[in-house]
Homo-oligomer: A and B are copies of this chain.
């Protein structure tokens, strides 16, 4: 490393600080405190360590950088700008937090090239980073050869006190320690200020001791405001520790440089204002106008472009060599990077006829995972300690991803649902073709909802395997019986919520979940068995909803069912037909996909003139009026469940053919 003159380093660091001050002042909104305090560590990391190519932000083998404290996004935008990313020009910075800009109020992957992870909800970023590090180490174990290392990068994080207080980070970092993810390095901005004031009002634990308890390597840099040398040495040491993740606590002053606001909560999330900005310029000896950066600063930072290009070229050569020596592995690796599914990946997904024995859809799900496993090597996932309830294992495979067995693809997340979801997101953010899935009970989707939302917002093709999807759970009782969970998931934009009604629909749901690489899928699966339908098929699931059973001529009544209640509709329809009624049964395994069909198709399935509609779903009916309107009715849940055998619960809460018939007849007579 060539020594950089102290005066230039100071300018480089203050460039970050002043871009943050000026951008937040101009937009009159934002968080200047963190970028001002973290500028030294940001400079040190990005200038001396980060392996990246500003002119190709998508270069695969780059180090990943996650700003877990996403509110400090001006730190990231400043670094992207200064190091020469085309995605963040000085004009973009002037448009900070404005409509349509590439510099939104928190970093968003889908807005700004170079942003690896959408952050803002605290604790999520560091947890995503655990997923990035898992992805890297898994691919390294899978593809690297003794003479050829094509997967090899670090994952760096800057996190704050907030991230360290959030439960999700604690779950994820505990797992990271267990997995000995040696290439994960977190820089902890210890500024001792949160929004409510000094951390001493609520957060006085010994953070590093806690990380030690997780099995991390820990270091402390006492003067993170000035001591670039110590920061750099600590990062160097962290890189050298390969059998443990590392955390470096770097004590800083929030809003460093602001004479009146530094070290106060006031500088966390509010503009400095013109006057204080002037005083800050003075204190930092910064002689430049807003948004004006000295050319020597650009010149220095933008050495990253040459370095990055060189690094990428070297890697390209390595890859070319690898291609020659290991053509099969290279083909697979490059196919994955192209985000291209293998040929015939879905060939083993099973179809069923109504003669086939009815199973629980969680069991069908297990069969699907077993069928996909050999044909879809990029499938990687597991369960939050419910493997033998969720049936998330890939049949025929043994062993799991552990420190010593990193090529394995089964993940034991432990009883850590929220971290699981965040880690699945992290694996997806790695953008290396891996298809992450994870299982828990549907009711515990609540625990990971913060990260499920981010899957949807960031367009990540995560597959959530959510079993025990209704009061059919039975004896475990209302704490374990989802009632409102399905509608709550359906309310999330950009997420596919499947509730398959038999084996074919489960295979179809898996097919669509795998194909949808730019949005998450939630598979809601039963604990209990259900019949296979005569007229379901894998392909029909793509329509979201379709006519499963129909009558001659115009129907008087439409029964709409999903999941384990689909067969109730079919049985009731048979009886109604026998008594001379004209009834149609619509299966609706995915409301969102149905919504995406043409108006004419939707009207074909649910003709506007047929207003007698009855929905049957063992969940809250919230949301179903979109299809039943003011004139329809429903057999749904209006309360929490109860502890009793699943069949008893179903009966007591009205999920019987008799009750469906009774409601249907009332509608027909109305």
A491 touches B648 (CB 8 A): no
Q: Within the assembled complex, what's the spacing in Å between the Cα atoms of A629 and B608?
A: 12
Whether the Cβ atoms of A194 and B101 lie closer than 8 Å is: no
* Chain B CB within 8 A of A395 CB: no
Most buried by B among A100, A205, A492: A205
Residue A358, interface by CB 8 Å: no
Partner-contacting stretch, out of A229-237, A251-259, A319-327, A471-479: A471-479
Given A209-B213, A477-B105; A491-B623 close (CB under 8 Å): yes
The reply to whether B161 and A167 contact each other, CB–CB distance below 8 Å, is no
Q: Verify if A575 is at the interface (C-beta below 8 Å from B).
A: no
Q: Give the residues in chain B near A212, CB-CB below 8 Å.
A: 206, 209, 213
Interface string of A574-607 (1 = CB under 8 A from B): 0000000000000000000000000000000000
A122: shortest Cβ distance to chain B, in Å?
6
Determine if A383 is an interface residue (Cβ-Cβ < 8 Å).
yes
Given contacts A491-B623, A643-B101, contact A108 B478 (CB under 8 A): yes
Q: How far is the CB of A524 from the nearest CB of chain B, in Å?
A: 14
Query: A90 an interface residue at 8 Å Cβ cutoff?
Result: no
Measured CB to CB, the closest approach of chain B to A595, in angstroms, equals: 10
Query: Is A332 interfacial (CB-CB < 8 Å)?
Result: no
* Cα separation A10 to B549 with both chains bound (whole Å): 63
> In the bound complex, do residue A493 and residue B640 qualify as a contact, i.e. CB atoms below 8 Å apart?
yes
**In the complex, what's the smallest C-beta–C-beta distance from A592 to chain B, in angstroms?**
11
A97 close to B (CB within 8 Å)? yes
Complex interface: chain B residues within 8 A of A444 (CB) = 121, 450
A388 within 8 A of B: yes
Report B-chain residues with C-beta under 8 Å of the C-beta of A226.
none
Query: Which B residue's beta carbon lies closest to that of A648?
Result: B99
**Chain B residue contacts of A194, Cβ below 8 A:** 385, 414-415
Most buried by B among A119, A494, A640, A652: A640
CA distance A456 to B230 in the complex (A): 51
Whether A434 is near chain B, meaning CB under 8 Å from some CB there, is: no
Q: Which residues of B contact A630 (CB under 8 A)?
A: 608, 611, 629-631
Out of B119, B475, B491, name the residue touching A484 (CB < 8 Å): B491
For A119, the closest partner residue in chain B by CB is B479
B214/A120 in contact, CB under 8 A: no
CB–CB B494/A640 < 8 A: yes
Interface string of A127-158 (1 = CB under 8 A from B): 00000000000000000000000000000000
A419: Cβ under 8 A from any B Cβ: yes
A644 contacts B205, C-beta separation under 8 Å:
no
Cβ–Cβ < 8 Å partners of A108 in chain B: 477-479, 643
The reply to whether B165 and A414 contact each other, CB–CB distance below 8 Å, is yes
Is A29's CB within 8 Å of the partner chain B? yes
With both chains docked as a complex, state the minimum distance between the C-beta of A649 and any C-beta of chain B, in angstroms.
Answer: 8
CB < 8 Å neighbour of A493 from B27, B203, B388, B483: B483
The answer, yes or no, to whether A389 is at the interface (CB within 8 Å) is yes
How many copies are assembled? 2
* Nearest CB of B to A499, in Å: 15
Is B479 touching A118 in the complex (CB atoms < 8 A)? yes
**Contacts of A195 on B, CB cut-off 8 Å?**
385-389
| CA gap between A105 and B620 in the complex, in Å | 22
Given contacts A171-B166, A196-B385, contact A477 B104 (CB under 8 A): yes
Flag if B207 contacts A213 (CB, 8 Å): yes
Q: Establish whether residues A120 and B161, one from each chain, have CB atoms under 8 Å apart when the complex forms.
A: no
A347 at interface by CB-CB < 8 Å: no
A174 to chain B, nearest CB (A): 5
Complex partner residue of A30 from B383, B475, B623, CB under 8 angstroms: B475
At the interface, yes or no: A353 with Cβ under 8 Å from chain B? Answer: no
Does the CB pair A383–B205 fall under 8 Å? Answer: no
Q: Give which listed residue, B168, B171, B456, B623, contacts A623 with CB less than 8 A.
A: B623
Question: Is the CB–CB distance between B201 and A400 below 8 Å?
Answer: yes
Q: Is A447 in the interface zone, CB < 8 Å from B?
A: yes
A220 at the interface (CB under 8 A from B): no
A213 with B210: CB separation less than 8 A? yes
Any chain B CB within 8 A of the CB of A202? yes
Q: Is the CB of A98 within 8 A of B644?
A: yes
> Nearest B residue to A122 by beta-carbon distance?
B415
When the two chains form their complex, are residues B648 and A402 in contact, meaning their CB atoms are under 8 A apart? no
Residues of B within 8 A of A629 (CB): 625, 629-631
Give the contacting residue for A121; candidates B210, B479, B484; CB below 8 A: B479
- In A471-530, the 8 Å CB interface with B consists of 474-480, 483-484, 487-488, 490-494
Q: What are 14 of the A-B contact pairs (CB < 8 Å)? A: A98-B644, A98-B645, A99-B642, A100-B644, A165-B385, A167-B419, A177-B204, A195-B387, A196-B383, A196-B412, A453-B484, A457-B478, A611-B630, A629-B630
**Closest 10 pairs between A and B when the two form their complex, measured CB to CB:** A167-B167, A104-B643, A120-B479, A202-B414, A99-B644, A629-B630, A625-B625, A209-B213, A484-B491, A97-B475
